[in-house]
Amino acid sequence: MAKSRTKQSKTTGRTFLRRPSRAGRFGVYGGQYVPETLIPALEQLTTDFEMAWASPEFRAAYRSILSEYGGRPTPLYEAERLSERLQRGRIILKREDLNHTGSHKLNNVVGQVLLAVRSAKKRVIAETGAGQHGVATATIAAKFGLSCDVYMGSLDVERQAPNVQRMELLGARVIPVDSGARTLKDATNEAIRDWVTNVDSTFYVIGSVVGPHPYPYMVREFQRIIGDEAKKQFQKQIGQSPDSLVACVGGGSNAIGFFTAFMNDESIEMIGVEAGGCGLRSGQHAATLVAGRIGVLHGSASYLLQSATGQITVPHSVSAGLDYPGVGPEHAFLRDSGRVRYISVTDHEALDAFQLLAETEGILPALESAHAIAALKKLPRDQKNASIIGVCLSGRGDKDLATVVNALENTS
């Protein structure tokens, strides 16, 4: 890790990939804006994580669970019919949807639960939006015999019913959260309240590169396996590095995980795709980096969707996993530095992309990942089919069938 800190960009000599500062900052973003009760726990977690991540035994355990249990490495797959249809270049999918439990979330949860076990915690808690992080946490908690409580906004409990059932079958308790907008931000508030109350006995497994330091950094390190693998696969299978990388951004963990290995190679364009909901002008969206302002929520400073007086506003997206008014602090840093370009696509465009990928490739993407597919249409046309475009297909779409079928009925 110390090595990656000093590695510089090939073209400008600038360094984009960095460890956060000792105060847990990426530039001005990040930090530890939490109640005093949690500060000692965060300091302990920072030390525990640094020690574990430097330990070959810990890394070996992490890798072996992800391969033997989780199914890694996930394939890198050239989507030829999709490429043919879109005429944007050769589209290469990193198939995180083929992980056990159906998304990239497993990578992070395996790392955090191994840490929980190392620090002798018997109980884990998590927040979840679409339910993918909740399912991954419930799964790994079952595998290690830990008790597991998952906070989920009651609106999400309704719209992601299959994932609620999965978590319960896995032995977790799903606690519906009725406060506020009844979605992911409220579930996160409630999980933090639980952690403040049970900090001695409980490990809080955060599902994205958000929250107080060390979470944004730790989750990035647990997710960077996506890009580390992809980098080798591009060389081996395609024979060259990608020209562009595309990933969806809610909190931003699959995007950070995909981008990190390529960060200092500035010849590679990177695009983060946020949820444009009903369109930016409607105010009904979750495009935090595109349309938000700097503030503090859930323990870190970053971009936020908020009112003029600093109240957090209710985001909207057809995808429950992107329906969050904040975004990881490292993304805020990457936005300001210009290293990653952030754009948004609407609910409509994402639903179209869902169908397009299903019909051309026989893959049902998660609605979150469908945003990344939809963004491809915004790239310049490339009739020669020369450019190589990597897309992180972060999850599978089975959980979204009811939402998609409903939405398609309403529009037809």
Partner 1 sequence: MTQSTRRRHHELTDIFADARPVIPFITAGYPTKRVFQDTIRAAVDAGAGAVEIGMPFSDPLADGPAIQLSSQVALEHGIDLPEVLKLTEDLRRHIDVPLILMGYLNPLMQMGFERFARRAVDAGVSGTIIPDCPVGEAKEWRAVSRDHGLANIFLIAPTTTDERIAVIDRASTAFSYCVSVAGVTGARGDVAASTRKFLQRVAAIAKKPYVVGFGISAPRHIKELKHLAHGFVVGSALVRILRDEPAKMAPLEAHRFIRSLVRAAK
Write down the catalytic residue from 105, 121, 185, 399: 105
Write down the catalytic residue from 302, 317, 319, 394: 394
DSSP state of 243: S
Residue 155 or 356 having the CB closest to partner 1: 155
User: Given candidates 5, 12, 35, 60, which one binds partner 1 under the rule CB under 8 A?
Assistant: 35
Active site residue 105: yes
Q: Is 311 among the residues that bind partner 1 (CB under 8 A)?
A: yes
Specify the long-range contacts of residues 35-42, CB closer than 8 Å, at least 24 apart.
35/196, 37/196, 37/199, 38/192, 38/195, 38/196, 38/199, 38/212, 41/195, 41/199, 42/212, 42/213, 42/214
Active site residue 3: no
Among the listed ranges 93-101, 289-297, 339-347, 404-412, the one in contact with partner 1 (CB under 8 A) is: 289-297
Q: Is 202 among the residues that bind partner 1 (CB under 8 A)?
A: no
- Is the Cα torsion angle 327, 331, 333, 335 positive or negative in sign? negative
Q: Is 119 among the residues that bind partner 1 (CB under 8 A)?
A: no
Active site residue 377: no
| Two tokens, residue 112 | 């955090």
CA–chain centroid gap for 161, Å, is 21
Residue 296 or 401 having the CB closest to partner 1: 296
Give all strands (DSSP E) within 264-359, no chain letters.
Answer: 269-277, 293-297, 299-304, 340-346
Q: Is 36 among the residues that bind partner 1 (CB under 8 A)?
A: yes
Among the listed ranges 55-63, 67-75, 262-270, 295-303, the one in contact with partner 1 (CB under 8 A) is: 295-303
Closest CA to 149 of 193, 117, 212, 211: 193
**Rounded to whole angstroms, how far apart are CA atoms 238 and 136?**
31
Shortest Cβ 310–partner 1 spacing (Å): 3
User: Given candidates 240, 309, 410, 412, which one binds partner 1 under the rule CB under 8 A?
Assistant: 309
Q: Is 402 among the residues that bind partner 1 (CB under 8 A)?
A: no
Residue 244's H or E segment, with its range, is: strand 244-248
For the segment 9-28, give every residue that binds partner 1 (CB under 8 A).
23
Among the listed ranges 35-43, 220-228, 276-284, 365-373, the one in contact with partner 1 (CB under 8 A) is: 35-43
Q: Is 240 among the residues that bind partner 1 (CB under 8 A)?
A: no
Shortest Cβ 32–partner 1 spacing (Å): 6
**Rounded to whole angstroms, how far apart are CA atoms 287 and 303?**
10
Q: What CA dihedral angle connects 188, 132, 227 and 276, to 10 degrees? A: -70
| Two tokens, residue 205 | 């497994």
* Binding stretches for partner 1 (CB under 8 A): 23, 31-41, 179-180, 185-186, 189, 192-193, 196-200, 293-299, 304, 306-312
Provide the annotated active-site residues. Answer: 105, 127, 394
